[in-house]
């Protein structure tokens, strides 16, 4: 004989039957107001938006997709007894923060270069003042023989400052690129986490122990398999045709110095090899490039390595549901990768 609670549970329905949008799709929708631009599900969890904000968006949002997402979540929250409980979002694990580390280091080099430049400039000013003092008060001094009269002086006072300015500008650009990359990675993690449910797990910035094989932007592990994801979000126009990657500037198209697809494939092979060494023979790790920048700046034609876009992720629902790994396998893989992160963090403290 079924209990009252069991009858209530069996009578619940999926909210998508009323709103034509699943909870996962609604959670992954980007909140466009006040320049926040993060998935609604992540903002609700962090408390950055509330039910009241959803109610406002469900009535006032110009974007019909945002309005529909707000209504979907709002209805499921206001009437939990009527609708099935949404599954818990995918778990996110943060590794070593390699991108953030590189950005901080670029900022430090930029500051150092400017420090050297202004230090030398100050010395030049002080020497000039001293020379003027001698010319004014000593008629017996024929001519001051300064270091600047020889090659060493020219190098010190002219060449080095110009070199320091170049280094400062270079590392300013590097810092900006890493900042863009860090923002793109965070956006990718938020989008994946708001879309997927447990037992899916997202590992952000996986670094292998001793950094033997570098780092991977995102490792995605779940029932559908394992992915090594290379996240990109350039500000330039980018073109991927087959296995060729180019960027565009005012002089035309130029080959990218770092090949995103090759990075993804190399990371996939390294991850598979690492799991093999740890006794987990998964057979394969998928390689993918995830574009998290302005999608109008990306041109893709017959890519040799899959290229995903943030906006396309909600349309891949059936793709995520393909059963390839058991919960036991997922737990084993996550444990090994968590141990790798812990080992790397331990190495960093030495």
pLDDT (tens digit per residue) in 209-261: 766 667 899 999 988 889 999 998 887 899 999 999 998 888 889 998 889 99
Better-predicted residue by pLDDT, 151 or 239:
239
Q: What is the pLDDT of residue 243?
A: 93
* 193: pLDDT strictly greater than 90: no
In this prediction, residue 69 carries a pLDDT of 85
Q: How confident is the model at residue 90 (pLDDT cuts 50, 70, 90)?
A: confident
Confidence of residue 101 (pLDDT cuts 50, 70, 90): low
Q: What is the mean pLDDT of residues 130-137?
A: 56
Residue 26, helix vs strand vs coil: helix
Adjacent-strand bridge partners of 298: 238
* Lateral strand order in the sheet of 237-241: 252-255, 244-249, 237-241, 298-301
Are the beta carbons of 236 and 296 closer than 8 angstroms?
Answer: no
Q: How confident is the model at residue 283 (pLDDT cuts 50, 70, 90)?
A: confident
Please give the pLDDT value at position 146: 47
**Mean pLDDT in residue range 192-206:** 84
pLDDT exceeds cutoff 90 at 119: no
pLDDT band at 142 (very low <50, low <70, confident <90, very high): very low
DSSP assignment letter at 323:
-
Note whether 135 and 127 are within 8 A (CB): no
How is 134-203 classified by DSSP, letter by letter? HHHH-TT------GGGSHHHHIIIIIHHHHHHHHHHHHHHHHHHHHHHHHHHHHHHHHHHHH-BTT-EEE
User: Using DSSP, how many helices (H) and how many strands (E) does the chain show?
Assistant: 12, 12
Report whether pLDDT(318) > 70. Answer: no
Structure tokens of 130?
Answer: 């001293």
Yes or no: say if 165 and 117 are a contact pair by the CB < 8 Å rule. yes
Whether 84 shows a pLDDT value over 60: the answer reads yes
Q: How far apart are CA 303 and CA 62, in angstroms?
A: 34
Mean pLDDT of 177-182: 68
Percentage of the chain with pLDDT > 70? 65
pLDDT band (50, 70, 90) for residue 171: low
- Contact indicator for 269, 285 with CB cutoff of 8 Å: yes
- Quick one: pLDDT at residue 102? 63
Q: Please tell me the predicted confidence (pLDDT) of residue 13.
A: 59
pLDDT at 5: 47
CA 306 to chain centre: 18
- In this prediction the pTM is 0.67
Residue 274 confidence (pLDDT) above 70 = yes
Establish whether the linkage from the previous residue to 237 is cis, with ω within 30° of 0. Answer: no
User: Per mean pLDDT, which range of 84-88, 160-164, 269-273, 313-317 is the poorest?
Assistant: 84-88
Question: Above pLDDT 90, what percent of the chain?
Answer: 17
Q: Would the pLDDT of 156 be above 70? A: no
In this predicted model, what pLDDT tens digit does every residue of 41-57 receive, in sequence order? 888 888 888 888 888 98
Q: What is the pLDDT of residue 348?
A: 65
Q: Residue 240 has what pLDDT?
A: 94
pLDDT tens-place string over residues 329-348: 888 999 999 888 888 777 66
Give me the chain's average pLDDT, please.
76
14-34 tens-digit pLDDT: 555 566 677 777 887 888 888
More confident residue, 82 or 11: 82
| List of residues 6+ apart from 104 with CB closer than 8 A | none
Whether the pLDDT of residue 123 is over 80: the answer is no
Residue 77 has pLDDT above 90, yes or no: no
């Amino acid at each position: 004989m079924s209990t009252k609670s069991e009858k209530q549970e069996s009578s619940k329905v999926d909210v998508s039957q009323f709103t034509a949008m699943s909870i996962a799709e609604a959670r992954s929708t980007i909140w466009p107001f006040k320049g926040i631009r993060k998935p609604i599900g992540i903002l609700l969890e962090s408390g950055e938006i509330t039910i009241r904000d959803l109610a406002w968006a469900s009535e006032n949002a110009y974007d019909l997709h945002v309005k529909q997402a707000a209504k979907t979540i709002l209805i499921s929250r206001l009437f939990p007894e009527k609708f099935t409980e949404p599954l818990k979002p995918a778990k996110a694990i943060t590794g070593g923060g390699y991108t953030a580390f590189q950005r901080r280091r670029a900022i430090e080099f930029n500051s150092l270069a400017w420090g050297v430049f202004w230090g030398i400039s100050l010395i030049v000013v002080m020497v000039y003042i001293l020379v003027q003092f001698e010319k004014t008060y000593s008629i017996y001094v024929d001519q001051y023989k300064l270091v600047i009269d020889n090659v060493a002086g020219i190098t010190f006072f002219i060449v080095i400052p110009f070199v320091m300015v170049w280094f400062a500008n270079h590392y300013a650009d590097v810092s900006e690129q890493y900042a863009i990359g860090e923002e793109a990675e965070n956006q990718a993690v938020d989008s994946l986490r708001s879309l997927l449910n447990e037992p899916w797990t997202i590992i952000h910035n996986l670094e292998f122990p001793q950094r033997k094989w570098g780092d991977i932007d995102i490792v995605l592990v779940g029932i559908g398999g394992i992915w090594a994801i290379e996240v990109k979000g350039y500000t330039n126009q980018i073109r991927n045709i087959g296995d060729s990657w180019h960027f565009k500037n005012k002089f035309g198209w130029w080959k990218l110095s770092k090949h995103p697809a090759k990075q993804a494939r190399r990371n996939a092979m390294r991850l598979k090899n690492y799991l093999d060494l740890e006794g987990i023979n998964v057979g394969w790790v998928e390689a993918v490039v995830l574009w998290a920048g302005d999608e109008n700046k990306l041109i893709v034609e017959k890519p040799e390595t899959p290229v995903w876009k943030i906006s396309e992720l909600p349309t891949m629902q059936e793709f995520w549901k393909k059963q390839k790994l058991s919960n036991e396998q997922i737990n084993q893989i996550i444990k090994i990768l968590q141990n790798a992160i812990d080992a790397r963090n331990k190495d960093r403290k030495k």
